[in-house]
Structure 1
Amino acid sequence: VEPVRIRAYFPETLYFNPALITDGRGKALLNVPLADSVTSWRLTCMGSSLNGQLGSTTADIRVFQDFFIDIDFPVSLTQNDQVHVPVAVYNYLQTDQTIQLQVEEDDWFELIDLPPKTVTLAPSEVRAVYFPIIAQKVGFRKFTVTARGSEMSDAVARTVEIVPDGREYLITESGRLDGSVTHTLNIPHDAIDNAGRIFVKVYPGLLSQLVEGLDRMLRMPYGCFEQTSSATYPNILILDYLQTTGKITPEIEMKAKGFINTGYQRLLSFEAPGGGFEWFGKKPAQLILSAYALMEFYDMSKVHQVDPDIIARTCQWLLKHQQNDGSFQPAVRILHDEMKEKLNDNILRNTAYIVWTLANTGYDGPEIKKGVDYLRGHLDDMKNVYTRIMVVNAMASVDPKNETTLDTLRTLYDIRIEKDDIVFWQAKSETPTYGSGTAANIELTALAVQAFIRCNRKYADVSKAINYLVRQKDAHGTWQSTQATVQALRALLLAEKTGAAQNHAALTVSINGREIKNLTIDHTNCDLLQLIDLKDHTRKGKNTVTLISEQRAALSYQIVGRYYLPYSHVTPPRQEPMSISVDYDRIRLAVEDILNVTASVANNRPQPAHMVIVDLGLPPGFTLIPDKLNQLVDNGTIEKYSPANHRIIVYLREITREKPLEISYQLLAKFPLRARTPVSVAYEYYNPEITTVAPPVSLFVAPKK
């Protein structure tokens, strides 16, 4: 039997060329290898001539064959799920065709029906054929089906992720590598088999630090202004850095500008009626959020076209809120006598933040001097670490050599926390965007670094603060929250401009006494993240990882361990800051039945939980019916929601202890299965340490009666 070619290449973007040069007649010939998708591609072309004339066009490229099959896989499955994989069979031939469908067996799944399936299709008939399997091994796995027809044949391979049936745990160790370092990571003996992994990341330079977290930032929720803003900002910082250092390439520039343009269009939708910006674009606008918007639009204008009116309009909106004494008052005044100290600190914080923004966005009007004079006259009102840091940054942006600026900087230095080779500043209250805990400490430390560098002081302590920032990087390549990540990147950029780059080193990576990888860092790869996967050498129990640098090079590193515990081995905490439960009206149903789901989220602390994200797991083989969620948006119960692959992201402005929240929605069963739902998670966006998880539930969907 002749082999059938397997279609397995299904990219979202088929071809990209940022700088195609035509001949003298304006013509160019492209040889574009087509993907395996049966679809219509949209070709978009933009061009410019030597004398500046512009033009653009679009065209369709139709890829078709008269007979083909496709696999409708869910985004992911959980280990031990049993699912009837639907294979759609399309017969557009002019005659009947008898087709034999055969699954290529593999060790990652058990095929319940072993014999091949045979179907006969009339002309232009489409039919679904189901193959029941049990997913057994974790990882990204390939599923291949061959369809041999009496007239024409086809074969297709699709990939699905099989996730472990347990709760994920991450261990991270990071720092500066100067000589050698050894860390021991422990994988519990009751962890799920073959799901544990250790990998090492080495950052030779700043660009590798910047680029690593981009994909994660782009995947973060972007349902409110600050989230959209902070997912866009890293692209702005990277593009500006690459252009300034001459390291830009057409490919990177085009990709970054595409992300920035998407973010820019989203950001504009959050301008509140009457001016300024608010988390969800509603009135009244928020002062500090609007100042943050102004700074981002200004920085964006350096690398991307920005409507100058949005910058001018936001600047003027801020300026009209300045009081006669030069201050910027909080939107809601606190009138009780016992809260006067907090009110004064909030006024100082607002004023410092807005003056800092105005001074760094090209504005030089008299309002800046009035604001600085107010700050200098009210330094005794600084009761908050965040406020003190912002006051220093504001004054340093205007006059970094002024004695009052330097004196205030010294008071900031005096309240640092120093431990061995790290220095950081600790938040004792929420930041203006509700950050607290470690995320707030990172944000404060990054802002403090910016202040010290602007004033050209305490470089030894700046280095120790940079050590702290490097060590706080999470396993996903970011610094927990978006605000912390953006400010950490800004601090690293400033530090890079004042320090010498290191671009030569030799590195050895070992695990459990076995040498695994030798790396050479030089000018050809000093901007690239080096990733060493130690999965094949990871074992349960203690794993000792050693990094040795032959040269005393200031490299940064991170060692990440990942493992999963069965949910039966996970002990829930007695009292979580927040809690979530997800209840299904039934766990056994049939194809095309509707499943009613209720997610309950509670805040168990006296203070409100601000900007809460509820990440609801969408079971495989189900599709969302949006009606009930749309009603919750319309009546103000939730701010908004967005389906994303196998999840539903719900955005909440606030949850109080007195008012737990219920989110009701409906799902439609698409095909037979016995599967575990993904976990559902609720967390504070600006303080992701406050996280609660609802374990998965087993669902059974029978064939349609």
Structure 2
Amino acid sequence: YGCGEQNMALLAPNIYILQYLRNTQQLTPAITEKSTNYLTSGYQRQLNYKHSDGAYSTFGAGAGNTWLTAFVLRSFAKAQSFIYIDPTKIEESKTWLERKQRENGCFEQSGKLFNNRMKGGVSDEVTLSAYITAAFLEMNTSANDAVVKQSLSCLRESMSDLSNTYTTALLAYVFTLAGDMEARAHLLKHLDTVALRQGGFLHWSRTATETSASLSVEISSYVLLAKLGASPTAEDLGYATPIVRWLTGQQNYYGGFSSTQDTVVALQALALYATLVFSPEGSSTVTVQSPSGQLMFDVNQDNKLLYQEVVLKDVTGKHSLEVKGTACASVQISLHYNIPTPTDVDTLSVEVKPEADCTRQRPKLTLKLKSLYSGKESTTNMVILDIKMLSGFVPDPKSLKRLKGALLVDRVEQKEDHILVYLQRLSKDIHINHLLEIVQEHPVQNMKPAVVKIYDYYQTSDQAETEYTYPCVAA
């Protein structure tokens, strides 16, 4: 579960799914039991990242993180209606956040702002303050509460600069929650002028040149939450439909999106939309016409919560899809294929130089890893170095221990035959070197190369990979 934020990203969707099922009277005892078990174990795990003062941080050490603490707070407050959450834990976190409020009403940042692409025209302070204010309001704190009132005042001051679409969308959601319809209308009107419309789809990106898929999902989700968060009219639902169509098109094969934060916000927005358009009646038939024949899926009241999947026999050729009926259905076609390791370096790169001692009875390999960031930002977000072992090799325990204390390394995890190294960040154009020794446990013939991958944790499109081979064979 990696870090405190990864764990929350797995925990939070359960809350929105449970809320949706409960609000539409579809919650069964079996689903309740399964989901609350996930919630309880996620809650217990999250306490590993809690500080004694009520704050939370990525790895449970160092400075408390304002962003993560607000994320935990808003999630725990909602989870309370499904599982037991110690109220003192919620109160401690709320008090810690309140102490971070400045005189101007905004909140000071402690710990790293997760995705550095969120930064933009307005200061991070405004984005962060909007996020914390949303957390307080989602907990049903009154808009007249002294802390909230002061933060709303600071947020109103920032409304003169709407150059950062991310912050504007988040502010629209905050003022919807606060019941300030005038500020909400002003923000939604501006957002409508910068919306990207194409073929029945509607979405937003941070700026005209910034096309981060992850942030576009978050921005569009906040607009959806703002649009549907205040007694929506039929017109509001009509406006929301092309946003939902675009969002569901961004969903990956596993139901999530490209990162953690975008998955959480998108599922919250989609769950709200699904609740509002829910109908306990109707059925539909989905027909897929493919070169190898016809596939039919029935969606009715008895199976509408069932995930239905069929593997296409013949992938090449033309496929068409037809839906008949009155029930809403979400259809996804997923195509998986392998590509050769790309050679062109765009933003991140990793080099691996294997040096071997082939004379030993158990050959030992020293992997010299060189990571580099050469993108547009001054630094990356958290970066993951994913090192796959050669067949028959395992990491040397002493070397693994040294790696845990190496430069910029926050955490090292072993998952099956992969070593995952969490790097705090990479600075632009500065090479960072790491060493890992691996030892042969079982001799393997015809050994294939192993892949080393590097990627930005929040901006997963920033990635690169390379491979290394066993040099003793070549020698």
TM-score by length of structure 2 reads 0.88
**1:422 pairs with 2:196:** no
- Give the Cα separation in 2 of the matches to 1:686 and 1:362: 30
Give a deviation string over 1:51-95, Cα, whole Å, max 9, x none.
Answer: xxxxxxxxxxxxxxxxxxxxxxxxxxxxxxxxxxxxxxxxxxxxx
The structure-2 alpha-carbon separation of the partners of 1:307 and 1:657, relative to structure 1 and needing over 3 Å to count, comes to: same
- Which aligned pairs between 1:243-322 and structure 2 lie closer than 5 A? 243-272=22-51, 274-322=53-101
The structure-2 alpha-carbon separation of the partners of 1:329 and 1:454, relative to structure 1 and needing over 3 Å to count, comes to: same
Give a deviation string over 1:387-440, Cα, whole Å, max 9, x none.
Answer: 11121111111115x32322222222222111121110111399xxxx971111
Residue matched to 2:5: 226
Give a deviation string over 1:217-240, Cα, whole Å, max 9, x none.
Answer: xxxxx3222112102212232233
SS in 1 for 2:367: strand
**1:555 pairs with 2:362:** no
**Quick one: which of 295, 303, 311 aligns to 1:533?**
311
Give a deviation string over 1:638-657, Cα, whole Å, max 9, x none.
Answer: 10111111211111110112
**Quick one: which of 352, 361, 366 aligns to 1:596?**
366
Contact residue 104 and residue 150 of structure 2 kept, 8 A: yes
Deviation at 1:459, TM superposition (A): 2.2
Give a deviation string over 1:665-700, Cα, whole Å, max 9, x none.
Answer: 222222221222442211111111111011353577
Residue matched to 2:248: 470
Deviation at 1:589, TM superposition (A): 7.2
Residue matched to 2:422: 651
**1:451 pairs with 2:226:** yes
**Quick one: which of 288, 291, 309 aligns to 1:509?**
288
- Paired amino acid for 2:223: A
Whose strand fraction is larger, Structure 1's or Structure 2's?
1
Larger radius of gyration: 1
Contact residue 74 and residue 135 of structure 2 kept, 8 A: yes
- Give the Cα separation in 2 of the matches to 1:315 and 1:553: 42
Give a deviation string over 1:8-40, Cα, whole Å, max 9, x none.
Answer: xxxxxxxxxxxxxxxxxxxxxxxxxxxxxxxxx
Contact residue 638 and residue 651 of structure 1 kept, 8 A: yes
**1:670 pairs with 2:441:** yes
Contact residue 580 and residue 602 of structure 1 kept, 8 A: yes
Residue matched to 1:208: none
Contact residue 587 and residue 698 of structure 1 kept, 8 A: no
**1:378 pairs with 2:155:** no
- Paired amino acid for 1:523: Q
- Which aligned pairs between 1:133-532 and structure 2 lie closer than 5 A? 222-272=1-51, 274-331=53-110, 345-364=123-142, 365-399=145-179, 402-428=181-207, 437-455=212-230, 456=232, 458-501=236-279, 503-512=282-291, 514-532=292-310
SS in 1 for 2:267: helix
Contact residue 591 and residue 670 of structure 1 kept, 8 A: no
- Give the Cα separation in 2 of the matches to 1:668 and 1:589: 13
Deviation at 1:328, TM superposition (A): 1.8
Unaligned runs of 5+ in 2: 112-118
- Give the Cα separation in 1 of the matches to 2:92 and 2:331: 43
**1:686 pairs with 2:458:** yes
Whose helix fraction is larger, Structure 1's or Structure 2's?
2
Residue matched to 2:114: none
Where relative contact order (Cα < 8 A, 6+ residues apart) is larger, the structure is: 1
Question: Which piece of structure 1 moves more, 635-644 or 591-600?
Answer: 591-600
TM-score by length of structure 1 reads 0.61
Aligned residues: 459
Contact residue 387 and residue 453 of structure 2 kept, 8 A: yes
- Paired amino acid for 1:428: T
- Give the Cα separation in 2 of the matches to 1:578 and 1:618: 21
- Give the Cα separation in 1 of the matches to 2:208 and 2:383: 18
- Paired amino acid for 1:545: H
The structure-2 alpha-carbon separation of the partners of 1:255 and 1:645, relative to structure 1 and needing over 3 Å to count, comes to: farther
Residue matched to 1:162: none
- Paired amino acid for 1:693: E
Q: CA RMSD in A?
A: 2.8
Deviation at 1:348, TM superposition (A): 2.4
Contact residue 610 and residue 653 of structure 1 kept, 8 A: yes
- Give the Cα separation in 2 of the matches to 1:634 and 1:448: 42
Unaligned runs of 5+ in 1: 1-221, 333-340
Deviation at 1:595, TM superposition (A): 2.4
SS in 2 for 1:572: coil
SS in 1 for 2:202: strand
Give a deviation string over 1:498-525, Cα, whole Å, max 9, x none.
Answer: 113475112222222x323222221121
Contact residue 205 and residue 211 of structure 2 kept, 8 A: no
Residue matched to 1:660: 431
- Paired amino acid for 1:595: L
The structure-2 alpha-carbon separation of the partners of 1:377 and 1:580, relative to structure 1 and needing over 3 Å to count, comes to: closer
- Which aligned pairs between 1:105-124 and structure 2 lie closer than 5 A? none
Contact residue 273 and residue 282 of structure 1 kept, 8 A: no
SS in 2 for 1:484: helix
SS in 2 for 1:688: coil
Give a deviation string over 1:330-387, Cα, whole Å, max 9, x none.
Answer: 459xxxxxxxx97853332222221111011133332112222232343113331111
- Paired amino acid for 1:454: G
The structure-2 alpha-carbon separation of the partners of 1:237 and 1:662, relative to structure 1 and needing over 3 Å to count, comes to: same
Contact residue 354 and residue 471 of structure 2 kept, 8 A: no
Residue matched to 1:639: 410
Residue matched to 1:564: 338
SS in 1 for 2:15: helix
**1:697 pairs with 2:466:** no
Residue matched to 1:166: none
SS in 1 for 2:332: strand
- Give the Cα separation in 1 of the matches to 2:98 and 2:405: 34
**Quick one: which of 606, 611, 626 aligns to 2:382?**
611
**Quick one: which of 394, 398, 413 aligns to 1:623?**
394
Contact residue 240 and residue 303 of structure 1 kept, 8 A: no
- Paired amino acid for 1:450: L
- Paired amino acid for 1:623: V
- Give the Cα separation in 2 of the matches to 1:659 and 1:449: 40
- Give the Cα separation in 2 of the matches to 1:289 and 1:581: 33
